[in-house]
Amino acid sequence: MKALIQAGGKGTRLQSISGSLPKPMVALDGKPILQWQIEGLVRSGITEIVIVVSPNGQVIPSYFKDGASFGAKISYITEPAPLGTGGILFQAKPILGKGDFILLFGDLMLDIDWKRMIAFHENHHSEMTAFVHPNSHPFDSDLLVVNEKDEVTGFDSKHNVRSFFYENMVTAGIYILSNRLLETITTPGPLDFETQVMVPAISRGGVFAYRSSEYVKDCGTPDRFATVTEDIQNGVVAAKCLSRKQKCIFLDRDGTLNVFGDFVTNADKLTMMPDAGESLKLINRSRFLAIVITNQPVVARGETSFEELHRIHNKMEDLLGREGAYLDDLYFCPHHPDKGFVGEIPQLKIVCACRKPKIGLLLKAQERYNIDFSQSWFIGDTKQDVQTGLNAGCRTVLLTCGDPRPNKLYAKAEPTFTSNSLKEAIVKILSWK
C-alpha cells in the first residue's frame, strides 16, 4: 500500500518557530515532523510514499531525496496553487495507481500501528476508513457520527452549532482510501476533502471509523508544538502505539464517574462526580488508557432504550470534553439474568459473558487496544467491581464515595487499596511502584 502525505501547507500559526520552513519540516526533538511520519510508515512496511509539496517547499525533496536513506521510495507532486485538502487527489491518480492508499497530513505528530488500521480497512471492505479518536477539545473539532458497526453515518463540522449531546469521535486527518473512491473524483480543481469527498462517500455507504487510542496530535501552534515535544521526550508518544502492550485504568460508571443514586434512565438524571474531569485529565496525560466498563441492566428491564443510553453516554463525553478530558472508550452490558420486571426485554434477560464480574467486556477492550491486564487497574465503588478486576488479573481500587453498600456482593474480594475519591486513587496509581 502507498501513502500520500499532504505537506504543502504554509503553517502560518507556527511561524514564530518555523520561520521560513514548511511546517512539516519543523524539528520535533531533533527530527522534522515529516521524518517521524515516514519512519513510522516504514516500520509498518509502507515504503512507497508520495509527498505533496508547494512551489516554495522544495526543502522537502532536498532533504528526503528519493527516500533510500530512510528505507523508502519517495516521489513528489508539486501543487502549483492551493487546491484544498482534496484537490490534489485528481492530480495524484497516475502516481497512486490502482490500489488503496493512505492519506495523511504532514503537520501531524503520530505513532500508530498501520498494520492494524489496514487490517480494519480490508476486513470492512471500506471505501474510506477514517482514523477517529477522542480528544480534549471536541467542541471545536470535526466529529463523525458512527453506529455500533463502526460505520460512519454523518459528518458534524466544527463550525456547526451543537445544541445536543455528542460523542467525542474526532476525525484525526488520517485516512485509507480505496481506488473506488478515487474514481469518483473526475475533474481537476480545488476540492474540500471533508465536504466534497467524505460527505458524498458517507451518503453512498461504506465509510468506516477506525477508533484508536494512539497518539495523533496537530503540531500547528506554539503551545501544541511544546506539548508534543514534551510527550516525545517523556516516551508517551511511543508508548501509545498499539503495536506495544497498553496499560489501562478501567473505570466503573455509576458512583465512580457520575453521582451514585437511582439508576440513570435518561440523560437528565446524569450528574457527574465533582472530580471526574480532573481525574480523567490525569489519566489522559499519562501512559494509561481510560476505559469505562459498566453494567446497565436498565435496558433489559425496559426502563430505558439503547437510544437513550447512547444519549446518556454522549452527555457524559460532552461534559468531560468541556473540562478538557476524555474517555478512550466505553463498554456496557445491557443484560440482566432475573425476570419478572414490567416492560422487560425478553431477549436481554439472559446469563451473558459480559455482565460484571465476568470479564467479557474487558476482553473486547483488550483485543481492540492490546491491553496488558497485569499492568492495568480497575476502579469502582463496589466489591463487584473489585472482583471484576481480580478476575482479569488487574490491580484494583475500591472507592468509598459511591455506593453506600459496597460489600453487598462479593464481600470477600479484597482491593489493592481503598480510596476516598477518584482523583486520590488516580494520583496514587500514577505514582505506584
Catalytic residue, chosen from 107, 113, 218, 254, is: 254
Residue 23 carries which DSSP code? G
Query: Per-residue confidence at 49, pLDDT binned at 50, 70, 90?
Result: very high
Which of 18-22, 140-144, 373-377, 415-419 comes out lowest in average pLDDT? 18-22
Mean local confidence (pLDDT), 221-242: 91
More confident of the two residues 224 and 422: 422
What whole-number percentage of the chain has pLDDT above 90? Answer: 81
CB neighbour class for 52 (10 Å; exposed up to 12, middle 13-18, buried from 19): buried
131 beta partners: 210
Pairing of strands 48-53, 73-78: parallel
Q: How many residues does the chain have?
A: 433
Which residue reads 460527505 in cell numbers? Answer: 199
332 beta partners: 294
Mean local confidence (pLDDT), 347-375: 97
- Domains in the chain, CATH or no CATH each: 2-227 (3.90.550.10), 245-430 (3.40.50.1000)
pLDDT for residue 433: 82
More confident of the two residues 58 and 320: 320
pLDDT for residue 153: 97
The one-letter amino acid at 195 = T
Residue 314 has pLDDT above 90, yes or no: yes
Whole-number Å distance between alpha carbons of 271 and 321: 15
Mean local confidence (pLDDT), 169-188: 92
What whole-number percentage of the chain has pLDDT above 70? Answer: 97
* Integer angstrom CA distances of residue 198 from 156, 181, 254, 387, 420: 11, 9, 37, 45, 47
Residue 383 near residue 255, CB atoms below 8 Å: no
Single out the residue of 234, 218, 236, 172 nearest to residue 14, CA to CA.
218
Does 381 participate in catalysis according to the annotation?
no
Residue 106 near residue 9, CB atoms below 8 Å: yes
Q: What is the pLDDT of residues 344-356, one digit of tens each?
A: 999 999 999 999 9
Q: Taking the C-alpha atoms of 300, 301, 303 and 306 in order, what is their torsion angle to the nearest 10 degrees?
A: 10
Q: What is the average pLDDT value for the chain, to the nearest integer?
A: 93
More confident of the two residues 153 and 343: 153
Query: Per-residue confidence at 8, pLDDT binned at 50, 70, 90?
Result: confident
pLDDT for residue 12: 55
Residue 109 has pLDDT above 70, yes or no: yes
When mean pLDDT is compared over 52-61, 335-344, 357-366, 400-409, the highest value belongs to 357-366
pLDDT for residue 9: 64
Residue 370 near residue 246, CB atoms below 8 Å: yes
Residue 58 carries which DSSP code? T
Q: Taking the C-alpha atoms of 59, 48, 220 and 65 in order, what is their torsion angle to the nearest 10 degrees?
A: -10
Single out the residue of 214, 210, 45 nearest to residue 126, CA to CA.
210
Nine cell digits for residue 135: 480528544
Which residue reads 484537490 in cell numbers? Answer: 87
Residue 67 has pLDDT above 60, yes or no: yes
User: What is the sign of the dihedral through the CA atoms of 371, 376, 381 and 385?
Assistant: positive
Whole-number Å distance between alpha carbons of 44 and 176: 14
Query: Per-residue confidence at 401, pLDDT binned at 50, 70, 90?
Result: very high
More confident of the two residues 13 and 110: 110
| pTM, to two decimals | 0.93
The one-letter amino acid at 25 = M
Nine cell digits for residue 281: 485529565
Whole-number Å distance between alpha carbons of 406 and 386: 10
- DSSP codes joined into one string, 133-194: E--S-GGGS-EEEE-TTSBEEEEE-TTS---S-----EEEEEEEE-HHHHTT--S-S---II
Does 150 participate in catalysis according to the annotation?
no
pLDDT for residue 11: 55
pLDDT for residue 188: 85
Residue 117 near residue 220, CB atoms below 8 Å: no
Query: Per-residue confidence at 19, pLDDT binned at 50, 70, 90?
Result: low
pLDDT for residue 22: 85
Mean local confidence (pLDDT), 27-45: 95
Residue 355 near residue 333, CB atoms below 8 Å: yes
DSSP E strands, 269-390: 288-295, 329-333, 377-380
Mean local confidence (pLDDT), 116-139: 96
Whole-number Å distance between alpha carbons of 38 and 29: 15
Catalytic residue, chosen from 113, 156, 218, 252, is: 252
Query: Per-residue confidence at 13, pLDDT binned at 50, 70, 90?
Result: low
Residue 269 carries which DSSP code? G
pLDDT for residue 332: 98
Mean local confidence (pLDDT), 375-388: 98
53 beta partners: 78
Residue 354 near residue 361, CB atoms below 8 Å: yes
Nine cell digits for residue 263: 439508576
Single out the residue of 287, 281, 291 nearest to residue 241, CA to CA.
287
Nearest 5 degrees, angle CA 275-CA 281-CA 285?
150
Residue 396 carries which DSSP code? E
Residue 15 has pLDDT above 80, yes or no: no
pLDDT for residue 303: 94
Mean local confidence (pLDDT), 377-384: 97
Single out the residue of 286, 275, 295 nearest to residue 377, CA to CA.
286
Nine cell digits for residue 83: 487546491
Which of 9-18, 236-245, 387-396 comes out lowest in average pLDDT? 9-18
pLDDT for residue 16: 52
pLDDT for residue 312: 97
pLDDT for residue 149: 94
Mean local confidence (pLDDT), 179-198: 90
Mean local confidence (pLDDT), 156-162: 93
Q: What is the pLDDT of residues 254-268, one digit of tens each?
A: 999 999 987 899 999
CB neighbour class for 18 (10 Å; exposed up to 12, middle 13-18, buried from 19): buried
